[in-house]
Amino acid sequence: MWTLIQIELFKIFRRPRTYIAFAAIAALIGVVQLGLKIDGQAYVSFMMRDISSSISVEGKILNGYQVCYIVLQALLVHVPLLISLVAADMISGEANMGTLRIMLTKPISRTQFLLAKFIATVIYTLLLLVWLAIMALFVNMLIFGTDDLFLLKSQYVVLLKKDDVFWRYVCAFGFAALAMTTVAALGFFLSLFAENSIGPIIATMSVIIFFTILSTLSSIPLFNAIKPYLFTTHMIGWKEFFDIKVNDANEAIVGTIQNPGKIVQSSIVLVLHIIGFITAGIFVFRKKDVLS
């Protein structure tokens, strides 16, 4: 199995297309960093325009933690596309090249073959998130320094002490890895049904967009009822790590998360989706006639 995974990783990282996602993340974050470095104060003024008269924040609002949060909010919506570029190509790309039939004439069970490919996809996804963490967190910490993290929510504000932020990012990236693995599992599953990667990539993004729209239409009772079961509802669960518990005096309790149960629930839903996609994929693939 390890040999198979090694081979799959070797193939993934020998393809130029693999590096598109890494380059795109670097470019996008670079642009945001440049914009905020040059005109960050204007951004802060705009952000604080409605509350500046009632709240006074000491210290440096535009710090590395703040920039990382801005980047993650903007970017984690688009990372699924970058992941699907590889995940949705894993089987369909092989079918398209004609290599699937050679692979499957080798003494490897189809289940092993599929699992090795999926594990390699997950490793790629994790590496992409590590790269995102390096670019969005560590590089921003270097460029903008660190300070307390000030977050504007829809009905309240959250102020996280400087020393209480880093672990939250570690957890948030861990959760994002789970969410992105779900996207990878979906793309991987859809790639079983096509002989070129364009279809599964578009289908993966279409499913995500469709489910996200359904999630936002929660005022309609039917959609509200299915919302908890849609994986897209839970993909933004990483934000929960940045909500803090308060005591009776409305003071933040350092080191706490307001609703850890919600994170656990979202994680379970995402894991169930991953298991569901892969189990269904193995079932389909074992019975599939390779005609490509």
Partner 1 sequence: MILNVTGLSKQFNHITAVQDLSFSVAEGDVYGFLGQNGAGKSTTIRMLLTLIRPSAGHIEIFGKDLATHRNEILAQIGGVIEKPDVYKYLSAYENLEVFARLSGVKLSRQELMGQLERVGLAHRAKDRVKTFSQGMKQRLGLAIALVHDPKLIILDEPTNGLDPQGIADIRNLILHLSRDLKKTVIVSSHLLGEIEQVATRVLIIDKGRKIVEGHATELFDPAQTIVELETFDNDFAFQQLQNSNWSARLQSRRDSAVLIKLDRAQIPQFHRDLINMNIQVLALRPRHSLEDYFLQVTSGKQHVDTYSN
Residues that bind partner 1 (CB under 8 A): 3-4, 7, 10-11, 14-16, 97-99, 101-109, 287, 289-291
DSSP state of 128: H
Residue 229's Cβ-side half-sphere holds a number of Cα atoms within 13 Å equal to 6
Q: How far is the CB of 5 from partner 1 (least distance, A)?
A: 12
88/277 Cα distance (integer angstroms): 13
Q: How far is the CB of 9 from partner 1 (least distance, A)?
A: 12
CA distances from 113 to 84, 97, 102 (A): 19, 17, 12
Q: How far is the CB of 99 from partner 1 (least distance, A)?
A: 5
Q: Among 208, 204, 207, 267, which Cα is nearest to 234's?
A: 267
Based on CB atoms, which residue is closest to partner 1, 15 or 78?
Answer: 15
Q: How far is the CB of 101 from partner 1 (least distance, A)?
A: 5
Q: How far is the CB of 160 from partner 1 (least distance, A)?
A: 45
- What single string gives the DSSP state of each residue in 213-267? HHHH-TTSHHHHHHGGG-HHHHGGGGGGGG---B-TTS-B-TT--S-HHHHHHHH
Q: How far is the CB of 97 from partner 1 (least distance, A)?
A: 6
Based on CB atoms, which residue is closest to partner 1, 118 or 242?
Answer: 118
Based on CB atoms, which residue is closest to partner 1, 49 or 106?
Answer: 106
Q: Among 221, 223, 19, 49, which Cα is nearest to 127's?
A: 19
Based on CB atoms, which residue is closest to partner 1, 94 or 243?
Answer: 94
Backbone φ/ψ region at 42: left (φ over 0), alpha (ψ -120 to 50), beta: alpha
DSSP state of 137: I
Based on CB atoms, which residue is closest to partner 1, 2 or 46?
Answer: 2
Based on CB atoms, which residue is closest to partner 1, 107 or 221?
Answer: 107
Q: How far is the CB of 288 from partner 1 (least distance, A)?
A: 9
Based on CB atoms, which residue is closest to partner 1, 24 or 108?
Answer: 108
